[in-house]
């Protein structure tokens, strides 16, 4: 108990709090954050992440957002070219509005490595107990081919974002539907 409080004390600062509640309450808090449109990052337990994924990733939503399990080819390309294993299990693929280059899980992880650095990405993927859930992430996908934002912010399209997730340490993202 004392160790737990010391760990909490070390974590809490201006941008971070630690919440203790039942899995159902945590899910409710995350769901409210998703619907509010506000950005937040949740570090939840694997069982909480499973509950959040099950709540958010209904088959109908996966279908609507064209979110599919990564192909063995893409997983192997991520492993060989980016040296990342089991980072993401499912994602959608969206064409760049400027040049048509397709932005998927590979491009997303490539952008993450360049923006946050390998150490940060590997630290997340090395988490043994926690899953990181991004709610309404503010980062925008950038096309590696032409350098422009993949999505034209002035034009709403049927699928207006890059979506991804997994049941591992990188739980993925949720936005209002
Ligand atoms: Zn492009």
Residue 156 in this model has a pLDDT that exceeds 80:
no
Q: What pLDDT score was predicted for residue 87?
A: 95
Query: Separation of 110 CA from ligand 1 center, angstroms?
Result: 15
Query: Separation of 161 CA from ligand 1 center, angstroms?
Result: 15
Q: What pLDDT score was predicted for residue 159?
A: 73
Query: Separation of 21 CA from ligand 1 center, angstroms?
Result: 44
Q: What pLDDT score was predicted for residue 1?
A: 80
Query: Separation of 97 CA from ligand 1 center, angstroms?
Result: 7
Query: Separation of 62 CA from ligand 1 center, angstroms?
Result: 24
Query: Separation of 151 CA from ligand 1 center, angstroms?
Result: 9
pTM here? 0.91
Q: What is the pLDDT of residues 13-67, one digit of tens each?
A: 999 999 999 999 999 999 999 999 999 999 999 999 999 999 999 999 999 999 9
Average pLDDT over residues 113-135: 96
Query: Separation of 104 CA from ligand 1 center, angstroms?
Result: 12
What is the rounded distance in angstroms from the CA atom of residue 1 to the CA atom of residue 16? 20
What is the rounded distance in angstroms from the CA atom of residue 73 to the CA atom of residue 25? 39
CA torsion through residues 57, 62, 65, 68, sign:
positive
Query: Separation of 94 CA from ligand 1 center, angstroms?
Result: 11
Average pLDDT over residues 2-23: 93
Q: What is the pLDDT of residues 126-144, one digit of tens each?
A: 999 999 999 999 888 999 9
């Amino acid at each position: 108990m004392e160790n737990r409080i010391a760990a909490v004390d070390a974590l809490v600062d201006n941008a971070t709090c630690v919440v203790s509640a039942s899995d159902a309450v945590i899910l409710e808090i995350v769901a409210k954050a998703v619907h509010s449109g506000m950005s937040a990052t949740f570090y939840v337990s694997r069982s909480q992440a499973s509950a959040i994924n099950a709540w958010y990733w209904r088959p109908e939503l996966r279908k609507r957002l064209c979110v599919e399990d990564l192909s063995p080819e893409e997983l192997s390309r991520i492993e060989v070219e980016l040296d990342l294993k089991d980072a993401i299990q499912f994602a959608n693929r969206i064409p760049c509005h400027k040049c048509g280059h397709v932005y998927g899980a590979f491009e997303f992880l490539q952008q993450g490595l360049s923006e946050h650095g390998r150490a940060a990405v590997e630290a997340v993927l090395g988490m043994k107990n926690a899953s990181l859930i991004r709610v309404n992430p503010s980062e925008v996908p950038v096309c590696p081919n032409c350098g422009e934002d993949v999505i034209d912010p002035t034009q709403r399209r049927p699928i207006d974002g890059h979506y991804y997730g997994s049941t591992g340490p990188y739980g993925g993202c949720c936005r209002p539907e």
